[in-house]
Structure 1
Amino acid sequence: MAVIEFINGKNNTLSALERVLKYITNPAKTEETLKGGHNCGINTAYNEFFMTKSEYSKLKGRQYIHFTQSFAPYDKVTPAMVKQIADELVQMEAFKGFQVAYAVHTDRDHLHTHFVVNTVNMETGMKWKQSAEQLQMMKDNSDEICKKYGLILTQGKSGSRVNRGEYRSKENSHSWKYELYLTVKKVKWIARSKEEFVANMNALGYQVDWSDTRKYITFTNSEGKKCRNRKLYPPEHFTKEALLKAFELNSQRMEARISRSKMEMLLSAVQLVKMDNQLDASRSNYPLSTIEREALKEKIEESKKGKGLNWDKESENSM
């Protein structure tokens, strides 16, 4: 399984951007077929990055994001497969509108891909905002792609093996622990509270023992098999703290969507009022309706007969 690692460095100058792009495309480290570009050409990335920054007047500050996706030496991957995995990774939602140059390096005992991301979005002009949640979603997405290729799960930078049998059966069907892992991972990014998380897990056939007096959460499937959250991979993503943080983020996103929906409804109502006012203002120009014509005709006839009272005049006389 690949490991995602972000590389910090002096990335606040255009010269640094130029150097890192030259580094990842160095012929001594990669081949032309192992290079790629998302929303840009790999050989014209610097100029395209610069044009985007210039268009939005954002030539200062951080110029790029640099991260790698590395595979352990024992992973049964080829350079072409690693390139294919990289092609899929840059399609995730986080990179929408961002230009990404990347290349697979084959000069080490382990294959790895370097990614360089322009910090300015070519579609919106907004700058890249990196959060812990976004990084986690990127790593989760990388894991999902790697699983499609049957790669072994690894633990941290050391790349130590995790029991493959716990997560994949020989027939490529899911083991019960892997099914639990997928369920918890999915519900984690849907629930907005601990109570909602437990209710959703119950609805999917799992009992959840989440007690404030116990360090770990225990999940029990429909067959009575138990598993603690520390046994799910990677364990730091399924701690009580990590789950509660995800619930809070889900709640904030839902509130933001509701606020946007309310604002859209309010704007629609204001627009309707404006349209009604415009219609009332122009109504005097419309022909009289049948009822209005009949009423006016009767009023004229009564006036000719001398019938009826002039209320305005009567009011004046009575004063």
Structure 2
Amino acid sequence: MAIIEFINGRNKTYTGLRRAIDYILRDDKTAFSLYGGFNCDVDNALNEFVMTKRHYNKETGRQYIHFVQSFSNREGISPETAKAIADELLLMDKFKGFQMVYATHTDKPHLHTHFILNTVNSYTGMKWKMSKEDLQELKDYSDEICRRYGLIVTHGKKGSHIDRGEYRTMEKGHSWKHELFLAVSEAKRYAISREDFIDKLKQLGYQTEWSDNRKYITFTNIDGKKCRNRKLYPPERFTKEALEQRFELNAVKLDKQVSKAKFEGLLSAIKLFETDGGMGMDHKNTYPLSQMENAAGADDILNAKQNTGLNWEKESGHEM
């Protein structure tokens, strides 16, 4: 079965809208064949969302709706099937005329599809509304699709509204393995060679054992806990071969000065979160990368750090 969750949040700025779209399309979470645009071009979705709002003079209030369709890891469905189910879900009459970007994520044991919906209807100019009856109809429609794909539909909690913090805690949790996953992902994002990758992980607090004589890479955190690369999810993105291919691509595509500055900014942000967390904490934060991801996303923290500093309350206005 699939569970529908609406992620509550203020969602009142174009900055937040851009961030949400960027997040669900991240290449460490999805793939080109697993995302799409509904009533819009996925590559130009932000601009098209804004054009619709301006056309109808409805730029205030909530800018987008974020909901997730999640599947149990016991279902055994493929990412392609999860994406196909999402495609069919959008054919529901409730979504007619609404623009949407959606992406099936494969970075967790349970497959799930994120949907970012423009709150202004491109056909009518009406703003999005959802009653309890509408939510139940959406859940029933989702269940009907799942049945057609041979998934078991059970009774119980099948959908609700939860706040963003609850969802991210449920999705990721705070664990040393998830913290390691984030560290390896960041090192992978900026490294241009195996040696550079190992060095960046060292700066992030991890020792890396990468030997040509061993099949797997072993990572060790500051507490001595070990984890092999095959335990990171999805494992095919963290094989030696996949990492080497990414390093080669980075060496060609990345601007070395910009990349260096961003990684140094990441290290500076981590120091803030390790001390008082940048969030008023009075103790050392064991999982700074997880906390950063939950709070605002690493990119936003880096931008704030490099410009005017961290200001978590300044999410207002309509800047893009």
RCO higher in structure (CA 8 A, sep ≥6): 2
Greater Rg over alpha carbons, structure: 1
